[in-house]
Amino acid sequence: MSLWLSDFIRYLHTWPLLIYAATWVTLLTLTVAVASFSPEVAFIAAISPSSSFSQRCKTKSDGTFIRVPLDLPRDVICVSPHLFTNSYFDLIVPPIFAALIVAASAFVVQAMGLWEHDQTT
C-alpha cells in the first residue's frame, strides 16, 4: 500500500477536521480574491464610457489631458499623459503583495490550530 493511501486511511476518522480546514481555506481564498479583484473592478467602472472620468478634460489649451479622481466624488485633476508611464515597481510590487497575502493566510490557518491534535508530543 502506498504511503499517501495509508496516510489517507489514518486520517479518515478526522473528516470533521478536514471539512473544517477546507472551509477555512475556502473562506481565506475568497477573501484574497475579493481583496485582489475589487481595485480592478473599481478601475473598470471608472474607465467605462458611462463614467464621468472617461470624458475629456475641459481645459483652455488644445492639449490632451487625463482625468484623475481625487478624494471627493466630483473632484478631478487633469494631468498630462506623459506623467503616466510604467515603472520598475509595477513589476515588483504585485508579486510581493500576493506572496504576503498568501503567507498571512497560512499563518491565520496555523493560528486557528487546525492540526493541533497531530502535534502533541
In a domain, 33, yes or no: yes
In a domain, 121, yes or no: no
Alpha-carbon gap, residue 102 to 107, rounded angstroms:
9
What does the DSSP 8-state code read for residue 66?
A: E
Same domain, 40 and 63: no
In a domain, 120, yes or no: no
Query: Residue 100 burial by CB count (10 A; 0-12/13-18/19+): exposed, middle or buried?
Result: exposed
Q: What is the pLDDT of residues 41-90, one digit of tens each?
A: 887 887 777 777 667 777 666 677 877 778 777 788 888 878 877 778 87
> What is the residue whose three cell numbers read 479622481?
69
Mean pLDDT taken over the chain: 76
Question: Using 50, 70 and 90 to split pLDDT, how confident is the model at 119?
Answer: low
**Kind and range of the H or E run holding 61:** none
User: What average pLDDT does the segment 83-102 reach?
Assistant: 82
Residues forming beta bridges with residue 67, ordered by sequence position:
78
Question: Using 50, 70 and 90 to split pLDDT, how confident is the model at 4?
Answer: low
pTM for the whole thing?
0.44
Q: How many domains does the chain have?
A: 2
Q: What are 114's three cell numbers?
A: 487546525
Given a cut of 60, is residue 93 above it in pLDDT? Answer: yes
In a domain, 35, yes or no: yes
Domain hosting residue 59, numbered range: 55-85
pLDDT of residue 65: 81
Same domain, 38 and 59: no
Query: Residue 82 burial by CB count (10 A; 0-12/13-18/19+): exposed, middle or buried?
Result: exposed
